[in-house]
Amino acid sequence: MSLKKLKYKYLTFRKAVRNAERNLKVLENSVSTHIDPEFIIEDCKLEGYNCLFGMGRVYRCSIGSFTYIQHGSNIANTTIGRYCSIGPNVIVAQGEHPVSYLSTHPIFIAPSYIHGFDSLTEKKLFETSKSVTIGSDVWIGANCYIKDGITIGHGAIIGAGSVVTKDVPPYTIVGGVPAREIRKRFDEGTIAKLLDMAWWNWPLEKIIENKNLFQQSLNSSMIHLSA
């Protein structure tokens, strides 16, 4: 075996060990959380009762309780609320490129990350990344892309395969390329009451006591009774 191959295998093994150590540290600080060994977590905070499945990556993220992320997803610089359902292969906040410059390549506007090549600049000349905010009780279908700087409101649904380039209001269903509004989940009055109710902030004991509210179609009297 060549020295180059041996070095590559060693670096791959060392990276896997480091990832396992990071995951164990997260597990020690989270309540009842499941993380598959292949899932990469870097500089993240998990509130607890989370599940991260398969091979994926979250970087500089805050993830609310009971939120789960399916395999193949790559999410960066994102605040994710509670009780979110994130499907497989969801890509969030992976950076932007300058479209009005001579070239879109980042080597000209940021310190180089290309091995063996000196940087052409020592500081960022273009803001390549912006944080994303995903509210609570959001469902994101498989194979979605969410652009940097986007805010997705509480209770929204993002249809599978969507490309989200604009903010999504609360309790709105969107889909398509680019994603457009399909309909609201409820009427405006009900949405206002739900946002005021903010059930995702209830203590777990209250949610368990009122579990019947979550197990049937919603009506206005149910919101009144749960207040």
Residue 30 pLDDT greater than 70, yes or no: no
What digits encode the pLDDT tens for the residues 153-190?
999 999 999 999 999 999 999 999 999 999 999 999 99
Burial class (CB in 10 A: 0-12, 13-18, 19+), 216: exposed
Residue 87 pLDDT greater than 70, yes or no: yes
Q: Which phi and psi (to 5°) does residue 26 adopt?
A: -65, -45
By DSSP bridging, strand 139-140 and strand 163-164 are: unpaired
**H/E element, 132:** strand 132-134
69: how many CB neighbours lie within 10 A of its CB? 29
Helix, strand or coil, per DSSP, at residue 49: coil
Residue 123 pLDDT greater than 90, yes or no: no
- 97, 115, 154, 224: which is the annotated catalytic residue? 97
What digits encode the pLDDT tens for the residues 56-66?
999 999 999 99
Helix, strand or coil, per DSSP, at residue 157: strand
Instruction: Give the per-residue pLDDT at 70.
Output: 97
Please report where in the chains the tokens 């939120």 appear, as a residue. Answer: 67
Q: Is the pLDDT higher at 45 or at 7?
A: 45
Q: Determine the Cα angle at 44 with ends 202 and 106, to 5°.
A: 130
What digits encode the pLDDT tens for the residues 101-116?
999 888 888 887 676 7
1-95+130-185 CATH, one of 3.40.50.720, 3.30.930.10, 3.20.20.150, 2.160.10.10: 2.160.10.10
Mean pLDDT over each residue of the chain, to the nearest integer: 88
Confirm if 226 and 197 have CB atoms less than 8 A apart: yes
Domain boundaries in the chain?
1-95+130-185, 98-126, 186-227
Burial class (CB in 10 A: 0-12, 13-18, 19+), 189: exposed
Please compute the mean of the pLDDT values over residues 127-141 and round it to a whole number. Answer: 95
Instruction: Give the per-residue pLDDT at 218.
Output: 86
Residue 54 pLDDT greater than 70, yes or no: yes
> How many angstroms separate the CA atoms of 169 and 194, rounded?
13
DSSP state of 168: B
What digits encode the pLDDT tens for the residues 200-213?
999 999 999 999 88
> How many angstroms separate the CA atoms of 93 and 132, rounded?
7
Whole-model pTM: value is 0.85
Known catalytic residue at 224: no
> How many angstroms separate the CA atoms of 82 and 103, rounded?
40
Q: Determine the Cα angle at 72 with ends 153 and 169, to 5°.
A: 10
Instruction: Give the per-residue pLDDT at 227.
Output: 55
Could you give the dihedral angle defined by the CA atoms of residues 44, 47, 49 and 51, in that order, rounded to the nearest 10 degrees? Answer: -20
